[in-house]
Amino acid sequence: MPVYTFRIQRNQKNAQGTLESRYQEYTLELNETTTVLNALEELKGNQDGTLTFRQSCRSAICGSCAMKISGRTRLACKTHVGSVARDGVIELAPMANQPVLKDLVIDIGPFFRKVHQIKPYLEEGPEKATTVERSSYDQVNHVTQCIMCGCCYSDCTMKEVSEEFIGPAALAKAFRFVSDPREGQKTARLQELSEPGMMWSCTRCAMCIDSCPKDVKPMEAIVKLRTRGMQKGFVDGPGPRHALAFHQDIQKWGDLNEFTLLQRTVGILGSIAELGTALHLLKKGKIPSPFPHQAQGVEQLQKIYKLLEQNPIDVETKAKEVVPE
Amino acid sequence: MSLEFAYYPGCAAKQVQKEADWAARAVARELGITLHAMPQATCCGAVSLRESKPAFSLAVAARILSEAEAQGRHLATICNTCLQTLSHANYRFKNEPELLEKINSVIVQAGVRAYKASINVYHLLWVITDQVDPALLRQKIKKPLNGMRVAPFYGCHNLRPAEILVAKGGESADHLDRLIQLLGGAPVAYNGHDKCCGFHVMLSDATEMRTMVAKNCLSAKDAGAEVMISPCTLCDMAMGAYQKPAENAVGKEINLPEMNFAQLLGLAMGINPDTLGISRLHVDPSAALVARKVL
């Protein structure tokens, strides 16, 4: 059996309450399909009882054992050592973007406070429907697979630089309620989600899609939330204004008119605030032409746009039907 | 194998990042890749159009893909976001025949040829690393990088979501690393290599965007990078042109030359720096290039 080296981040608070961090190495002879969690238990049981990590169900259902494994956040119970070893080394660290308590254990509190911010329960209200069509599950099924493990939150590139951002899991959860026919406050939810730090602050880096162990695809839910928010008229912000600029440009020019995009996205005052940056870009001629090149046959797009406005077609992705086993 | 592609440079390469387009054309010529113009192609709409007008965005993509298909060629781009947007639409068209039929029924009414979902969407980088004969590429290297430590910055939309891309995506992607090695450089392993450049939140979350740029560049610099390269015109804009604003935002000096992968490839091939638009870079790479005898 191959020998694996586990390079584990050990974290401990000192007497002053500040976290002291160091790496400690352990070696184990393991089958390559052994899970990281089993390896950790072996280490704790036979090599170092002080090593601290969270675990519970061992079946990728509870989400407790999420941790950084070789650079990406994964569930230790679902990850084979052979799939994450780099030259025989597996690096383990606590989840990112959350306060560390000890070794691989983080305080999951801030993550859940973000989730609570979107009111993760059905609310009474004027938009409540009393019948639920089978097709309603098309949108809800994907996001209800979420186990709140926090992998997406830990790998989120916006969370890394923003305390305020609500994070992918909470937004996916919000989409679940916005899409539920029984929800009474769909529009009010979309209004709240249009505020700064909510759905428009996602960079669309798709990291959450790849790091989710349950295939929830949070970013896809965020894209759909934005569509629904704009459809309800919540278009007053740089995010929606920017998104809405594209379809006008594509019909008129074919290409994006980057010259006027800034002013249309952040307004006149915002553009003045950006002036310093604009002058900096100008130094290397990086200011676009106000008259972009016009593609051949853009009138085709004007016609397509009109046809779709007259007869809208549903193109939303739909979750696969879940059949009880 | 004939390397003929319908070439889709994307909006940024036609305007603010035109040096990436110059460099792409110059290296393609040397490597026997023919990039055919797409005179009818429009902006892909990026994720923004998917958000504001989901059906229209698929129609726009189908029209672009159909133009390449009518030429009998796969499509190659040099913008990661165009790559992801067109790959996403193409993935859906290939896997959801009913959706393709719905979109086709609309675009044909406007005189657009129906798309048959028979082509693939590639990044020019993937073409160079996966389809060009490595022996030919090696033979074209006149000015090897002499061990230059180069940070590969992949850009999100070159990697994710992995399932929609025709090349190796996600964590297993190694295109840029392999290219750097082929050029005689040493790829730098650093934390930011698969992170976000922040381009798409440049206007809505300006401080966060600049912090991302600074973090990515500083993590590369701390790992010993002399130069950073990216396969994306938008990442180039963020990591290069916005590096100074990022320095101002975090109050730290960075000074890491960043350029498009095709520019560094072109330099290693001995192509004239003016042809590659090197003087349009915000962080001057001359000293780093001279130190390794590339210039």
CA nearest neighbour of B81 among B18, B159, B171: B159
Q: What are phi and psi of A105, to 5 degrees?
A: -100, 130
Is it the case that residue B24 has pLDDT exceeding 70? yes
Count of CB pairs separated by less than 8 Å, A with B: 206
Is it the case that residue A41 has pLDDT exceeding 60? yes
Position with higher pLDDT, A320 vs A53: A53
B52 and A287 within 8 Å at the Cβ level: the answer is no
Is it the case that residue A146 has pLDDT exceeding 80? yes
Residue numbers in A near B56 (CB within 8 A) = 247, 304-305, 308
Contact status of B200 with chain A (Cβ, < 8 Å): yes
A301 and B245 within 8 Å at the Cβ level: the answer is no
Q: Which pair of tokens denotes residue A87?
A: 């030259």
ipTM of the modeled complex: 0.95
What's the pLDDT band for A265 if we cut at 50, 70, 90? confident
Is it the case that residue B163 has pLDDT exceeding 70? yes
Task: Specify whether domain A109-231 bears CATH 1.10.1060.10.
Answer: yes
Domain residue ranges of chain A, discontinuous segments joined by +: 3-105, 109-231, 238-310
- Taken in order A190, A195, A200, A206, the sign of the CA dihedral is negative
Q: What is the mean pLDDT of residues B49-78?
A: 97
The continuous run of DSSP H or E covering B7 comes out as: strand B4-8
3-state secondary structure of B257: coil
Is it the case that residue B249 has pLDDT exceeding 60? yes
- Please state, in angstroms and rounded to a whole number, the distance separating the CA atoms of residues B54 and A231: 11
Q: What are phi and psi of B220, to 5 degrees?
A: -70, -45
What's the pLDDT band for B171 if we cut at 50, 70, 90? very high
Sheet holding A89-93, edge to edge: A19-29, A3-13, A89-93, A66-69, A72-75
User: Is-contact B190 B223, C-beta < 8 A?
Assistant: yes
Q: What is the mean pLDDT of residues B203-222?
A: 96
* DSSP code at position B258: E
Position with higher pLDDT, A248 vs B112: B112
Is it the case that residue A18 has pLDDT exceeding 80? yes
What's the pLDDT band for A321 if we cut at 50, 70, 90? confident
Residue numbers in B near A227 (CB within 8 A) = 50-52, 54
Reduced DSSP (H G I as helix, E B as strand, rest coil) percent helix, strand, coil of chain B, to 5: 55, 10, 35
**CATH code for the part of the protein at A3-105:** 3.10.20.30
Contact status of A21 with chain B (Cβ, < 8 Å): no
CA count, 13 A, side-chain hemisphere, B83: 28
What's the pLDDT band for A275 if we cut at 50, 70, 90? confident
pLDDT, position A325: 62
Residue numbers in B near A315 (CB within 8 A) = 54-55, 58, 99, 102-103
pLDDT, position A77: 98
Q: What are phi and psi of A127, to 5 degrees?
A: -95, 10
Contact status of A304 with chain B (Cβ, < 8 Å): yes
pLDDT, position A260: 76
pLDDT, position A245: 86
Q: What is the mean pLDDT of residues B161-190?
A: 96
Omega of the bond leading into B161 within 30 degrees of 0 (cis):
yes
Among A118-132, A247-261, B91-105, where is mean pLDDT lowest? A247-261
Q: How far is B173 from chain A (nearest CA, A)?
A: 13
Is it the case that residue A289 has pLDDT exceeding 90? no
Contact status of B110 with chain A (Cβ, < 8 Å): yes
What's the pLDDT band for B206 if we cut at 50, 70, 90? very high
Cβ contacts of A248 within 8 Å, gap of 6 or more:
none
Mean of the per-residue pLDDT values of chain A: 93
Tell me the whole-structure pTM to 2 decimals.
Answer: 0.96
Q: What is the mean pLDDT of residues A264-285?
A: 78
Contact status of A138 with chain B (Cβ, < 8 Å): no
Position with higher pLDDT, A28 vs A293: A28
Q: What is the mean pLDDT of residues B99-119?
A: 98
User: Is-contact B44 A256, C-beta < 8 A?
Assistant: no
Mean of the per-residue pLDDT values of chain B: 97
Is it the case that residue B231 has pLDDT exceeding 60? yes
Q: What are phi and psi of A149, to 5 degrees?
A: -80, -25
Position with higher pLDDT, A249 vs B207: B207
Residue numbers in B near A289 (CB within 8 A) = 15
What's the pLDDT band for A246 if we cut at 50, 70, 90? confident
User: Is-contact A159 A97, C-beta < 8 A?
Assistant: yes
Domains present along chain B, CATH in parentheses: 4-123 (1.20.1050.140), 141-291 (3.40.50.11810)
Cα R_g (chain A), whole angstroms: 24
Q: How far is A29 from chain B (nearest CA, A)?
A: 25
What's the pLDDT band for A181 if we cut at 50, 70, 90? very high
